[in-house]
Structure 1
Amino acid sequence: MTPPGPCPRPLSRALIVAEARRIADEEGLGSLTVRRVARRLGTGQASLYRHITDRGQLLSLLAGDVALRLPLCADRGDPRERLRDHWLAAHDHLARHLWAARVIADGEHAVGTAAAFADGALGALAEAGLDPDDAARAHRVLWNLLLGHLLNAHPVGRTGTPRRHGDGSRSDFSWALSRVLDGVLAGQPAGGRWRLGR
């Protein structure tokens, strides 16, 4: 394998994060080191340290980058359908970056860039009739369901032919999501918020 040529663009934090994301996507987090990113960019580690402090910061930047790209909830239509589409799109996004679920679940790297995703989900839950406390609880349940499906690579509890990690995850998640939403929104009006004086 020939070493990469010189970096074609000026080095920046965005370029470093993009290359780190490619490495994590292709080879997993275990292969992600500052040295590896520098090599892929055709530069030395010292050049990267002008933009990042260490691997820990690189992981935080990666988590923030993936969170920033989480899909936003549609602002029109039936809240139940919007919620279903929103969480399925989030599943698809994180499934393209399976390492991200582990980084997020570990909780070491706080991600403020996920606020728009959370705000959209909470808004749709409120429009579906939940009060703020119940909407926040439902959001946590849905988030844990999403991460659990993406992180679960263990074969215990699975039936039939063994699957590789990620196979069938979307259909299983879709099935579970529908049932959780049915339970969370049970008794709420089909069209959205309760009328005043309920």
Structure 2
Amino acid sequence: MNARAPGRPRILSRERIVTIARRIADDEGLDALTVRRVAQRLGTGQASLYRHIEDRDELLRLLAEDVAVHLPAPKEQLDAHERVVGQWLDAYDYLSHHRWAARIIAEGEHVADSASTFAESALDALRALAGDAGEPRADLARVYRVLWHLLLGHVLNVHPVGHAHSEDADPRSAAESEGTDTAPAPHPGEASTPRDDLAWALPRVLDGMLGTA
């Protein structure tokens, strides 16, 4: 019989450790994430965790892999332009709920092999958008890197110093564009959100780099 007896601790596994580590990072921030803190949340000793992970560094690497697995793929039912913009906005939505994940990516100390899935899907979407322009793969890789910088800037720098919204600025100006790839215009008196700004910037950056305007 495999049923767990009432009150008996659940069997530890890497998957369970990563789940708790993700919750701690979400609730308390990345700096609060330690092997000891994970052990406390699991109701066990640190020695038990060390049977599954070596140290905090490995814990962060496992979290980086977890992030990479959950990065979104483009939605195939959209046209080429909407597919690229939509994928990066979906990535913003995911990372904005797990800001520690954006920090792991930005610091670049923990490279996740699973990130190649997102990279390849994003490059394929960019290749389809470039179309007849025939951008070399090296140039598309540069576009991909630029989009990452743009995304991480909007996720991490939500309150940029010296960039407060001006009371005199017209909030509608950030959304004046044709098509459906831009952010909807805020109501008068409403400041645009970082996501609005990213939605406004993405098609302009893409059109400028790929000549798709």
TM-score by length of 1: 0.84
CA contact (8 A) 1:7 1:41 kept: no
Aligned to 1:151: 156
1:96 matched residue in structure 2: 97
- Deviation, 1:184, is 2.2
- How far is the alpha carbon of 1:46 from its aligned partner? 0.4
Where structure 1 has 5 or more consecutive residues not aligned to the other structure, the ranges are 1-5, 162-166, 189-198
Match of 1:118 in 2: 119
Q: What residue is the counterpart of 2:145 in the other structure?
A: 140
Q: Pick from 201, 207, 211: which aligns with 1:176? A: 201
CA positional deviation for 1:131: 2.8
Q: Secondary structure of the residue that 2:124 maps to in structure 1?
A: helix
Q: CA 1:28–1:93 in 2, change beyond 3 Å: closer, same or farther?
A: same
List runs of 5+ in structure 2 lacking aligned partners. Answer: 1-6, 168-191
Letter in 2 for 1:67: A
Name 2:136's counterpart in structure 1: 131
Specify whether residues 143 and 47 from structure 1 end up closer, same or farther in structure 2 by C-alpha distance, changes over 3 A only. Answer: same
**CA deviation vs aligned residue, 1:21-69 (integer Å, no higher than 9, x gap):** 0000011011111111101011110000000000111011111101110
- Checking the alignment, whether the CA contact within 8 Å between 1:7 and 1:43 is kept in structure 2 is no
TM-score (norm 2): 0.78
**Which residues in structure 2 correspond to 1:1-198 (within 5 Å)?**
8-129=9-130, 130-152=135-157, 153-160=159-166, 168-187=193-212
CA contact (8 A) 1:29 1:99 kept: yes
**Aligned partners of 1:45 and 1:75: how far apart in 2?**
45
| d(CA) in 2 for partners of 1:92, 1:8 | 35
Computing the radius of gyration over CA atoms, which structure comes out larger, 1 or 2?
2
SS in 1 for 2:114: helix
CA contact (8 A) 1:64 1:113 kept: yes
- The separation in 1 between residues aligned to 2:129 and 2:202, in whole angstroms, is 15
Percent of residue pairs bearing the same amino acid type = 55
| Equivalent residues of 2:34, 2:56 under 8 A apart | yes
| Contact 2:206/2:212, CA 8 A, preserved across alignment | no
Question: What is the identity, as a one-letter code, of the residue corresponding to 2:27?
Answer: E
- Higher normalized contact order (CA 8 Å, seq sep 6+, divided by chain length): 1
Question: 1:137: Cα distance to partner?
Answer: 1.1
Q: Which amino acid aligns with 2:124?
A: G
Structure 1 CA distance for aligned equivalents of residues 88 and 71 of structure 2: 10
CA distance in 2, matches of 1:100, 1:175: 23
1:38, 1:48 within 8 Å by CA — same for their partners in 2?
A: yes
Cα offset, 1:187, TM superposition: 4.4
Q: Distance in 2 between matches of 1:18 and 1:77?
A: 33
TM-superposed CA distance for 1:160, in Å, is: 3.9
Q: Work out the CA distance in 1 between the residues paired with 2:141 and 2:9.
A: 46
Cα shift at 1:172: 1.5
Distance, in Å, in 2 between the alignment partners of 1:7 and 1:98 is: 34
